[in-house]
Structure 1
Amino acid sequence: MRNRWLLRFPPRPEARIRLLCLPGAGAAAAMYRSWGELLPSEVEVCAVQLPGRGARLREPLHTLMDPLADALAEVVLAEPGLPTVIFGHSLGSLIGFELAHRLRDSADHAPLALVAAAHRAPRLGSAALPYHRSTEEELAKVMTALGGTPAEVLARPELLRLALPSIRADFELDYTYRYQERPALSIPISVYGGLGDNSVGQGELDAWRSHTTGAFSLRMLPGNHFFPTGPSGPELLALLTADLLQHV
């Protein structure tokens, strides 16, 4: 079960730090496959494969945050201890935040830092976008408008039908999210946003600073909601590398 949740790109038994990566709505662990080749050998890229995608396509999808975060925390706690930084894109930022809270008191698995990209601060709650209630046709139009979905998927109805259930479930997961008041994290939080991202404003990104008593940084990069996989990808990885190596 652990191997279905966590995919190494590639396995690095001698790595000195783990970058635990969480994909955004409808995305799979494969969005981080190239990062393992681009980040230094001291870093093991460990991407989370959520149920309902990839080799887990037939597994039940999660539509509520607490059961998902609890299950993921159990998987991570079963891993060998290794200094870990959590990175999340979009919905993955929320999941990463909830995971960090569940791991914060672990002697061996408490994260060193949290990196959030392209999502408003948890305390602001859901973005209140009920896309999960849309028809297949409406949802396909939403995905086309947002960008980020491969053109070959949008162009092939049979592939789109396979992708839509996980996209719908992830939108419901975000829509039903309710922030629970609790003490702020003490680890550094770094936040990244796309200058052309119409789904989240800079003020909503800056609000992440209230979730930590530690260091906070906000960096805005060129690109839209999917800037981590666009032209700003190399710049993001360079900044991430510098931050990661500070912990090695």
Structure 2
Amino acid sequence: MPDAWVQRPAEETGAPVRMFCFAHAGGGRGFFAPWRAALLPDVEVCPVVLPGRETRLRERPLTRVEDVVDRVCEVLPDHLDRPFALFGHSMGSVLAHETARALHGAGLGTPLGLFVSGRRAPHLPARRPPLHLLAEDAFVTEVARLGGTPHNILREPGLLRLFLPTLRADFELNETYRPLPGADLPCPVSAFVGADDPEAAPEELAGWRETTTHGFSLRVFHGDHFYLKGTPEELFAALRADLRRFGAHAAAPQPTGREGITP
């Protein structure tokens, strides 16, 4: 059943795995649109759309991770009728991570695995001062430098005025985040990063191994913070391979401690 938060395909896909995708600051379902056909028939891609963008443009954006997670966990159980995974890029990584923890902690469902991309591990300190506190001109300059916001929005004053509150709210959400209370994930975690990402280095992504009591892997791709734009075939191959591994992992006897972590 459709809802504002979860964008499911219009027709049943029959894919064996459903992957819920959380975008970067300012991003939404459009970022993952090219993925949907590319990952079928193996994976049904379902973007999670936050208030303040796309079909929810007139809604007030949220500025705290816990508020997003609470709302997502109210609606997501209606879509957990098959094995599922969570994917997040940049800001979306912490939303996917905390959603996975909240679902499991509440007994609502445990993902086959978690994919995190382009963001340092939750327990690591930020490498720069927060951007959401900057004056408008400086904030727009820094957002443009990151490259994830369409140039037509940044260059058109009318569009920018419309979009800026959501963008600033997303940066506040990401920059004020601290790990929420709860246990480590009882599922594998795969971390991805671009080799030239100015926002997250491979060693910072490696810290995600501390968030799971099960398997961990790290892959470095060619590109910058938005190495995953469009239809990145190397990334898709990695997603498919890891989902097969996650499925086998879920069917096998589970480890009871940190010995399940792989380098």
* Map of 2:48 onto structure 1: 48
Report the TM-score when normalising by structure 1.
0.92
Report the TM-score when normalising by structure 2.
0.87
Please say if 1:238 is aligned against 2:237: yes
* Map of 2:257 onto structure 1: none
Please say if 1:66 is aligned against 2:98: no
Residue 196 of structure 1: how far off its partner (Å): 0.3
Residue 157 to residue 89, structure 1, CA distance change in 2 (3 Å): same
User: What is the alpha-carbon distance in structure 1 between the residues aligned to residue 73 and residue 203 of structure 2?
Assistant: 30
Question: Is there any run of 5+ residues in structure 2 with no aligned partner, and where?
Answer: 249-263
User: Over the residues paired in the alignment, what is the CA RMSD in angstroms?
Assistant: 2.1
User: What is the alpha-carbon distance in structure 2 between the residues aligned to residue 132 and residue 105 of structure 1?
Assistant: 31
* Map of 2:255 onto structure 1: none
Residue 183 of structure 1: how far off its partner (Å): 2.5
* Map of 1:185 onto structure 2: 185
* Map of 1:173 onto structure 2: 173
Query: What's the CA shift string for 1:140-181, capped at 9, x where partnerless?
Result: 111111112222222222122222111100110012111245
The answer to whether the 8 A contact 2:110-2:187 is kept is no
**Larger deviation: 154-163 or 187-196?**
154-163
User: What is the alpha-carbon distance in structure 1 between the residues aligned to residue 44 and residue 69 of structure 2?
Assistant: 22
Residue 81 to residue 127, structure 1, CA distance change in 2 (3 Å): farther
Residue 194 of structure 1: how far off its partner (Å): 0.8
Letter in 1 for 2:235: L
User: What is the alpha-carbon distance in structure 2 between the residues aligned to residue 27 and residue 129 of structure 1?
Assistant: 22
* Map of 2:115 onto structure 1: 115
* Map of 2:8 onto structure 1: 8
The answer to whether the 8 A contact 1:194-1:221 is kept is yes
The answer to whether the 8 A contact 1:191-1:218 is kept is yes
* Map of 2:213 onto structure 1: 213
Question: Is there any run of 5+ residues in structure 1 with no aligned partner, and where?
Answer: none
**Larger deviation: 46-55 or 174-183?**
174-183
User: What is the alpha-carbon distance in structure 2 between the residues aligned to residue 2 and residue 176 of structure 1?
Assistant: 31
* Map of 2:228 onto structure 1: 228
User: What is the alpha-carbon distance in structure 2 between the residues aligned to residue 138 and residue 64 of structure 1?
Assistant: 23
User: What is the alpha-carbon distance in structure 1 between the residues aligned to residue 108 and residue 13 of structure 2?
Assistant: 17
User: What is the alpha-carbon distance in structure 1 between the residues aligned to residue 87 and residue 125 of structure 2?
Assistant: 19
User: What is the alpha-carbon distance in structure 1 between the residues aligned to residue 171 and residue 53 of structure 2?
Assistant: 15
Query: What's the CA shift string for 1:44-94, capped at 9, x where partnerless?
Result: 110000000011111121111111111111111233422111000000000
User: What is the alpha-carbon distance in structure 2 between the residues aligned to residue 106 and residue 16 of structure 1?
Assistant: 24
Letter in 2 for 1:186: P
Residue 107 to residue 66, structure 1, CA distance change in 2 (3 Å): closer
Residue 225 of structure 1: how far off its partner (Å): 0.6
Residue 8 of structure 1: how far off its partner (Å): 2.3
Residue 221 of structure 1: how far off its partner (Å): 0.5
Please say if 1:94 is aligned against 2:101: no
**Larger deviation: 173-182 or 103-112?**
103-112
The answer to whether the 8 A contact 1:25-1:91 is kept is yes
Percent identity (aligned): 38
> What is the count of residue pairs matched by the alignment?
247
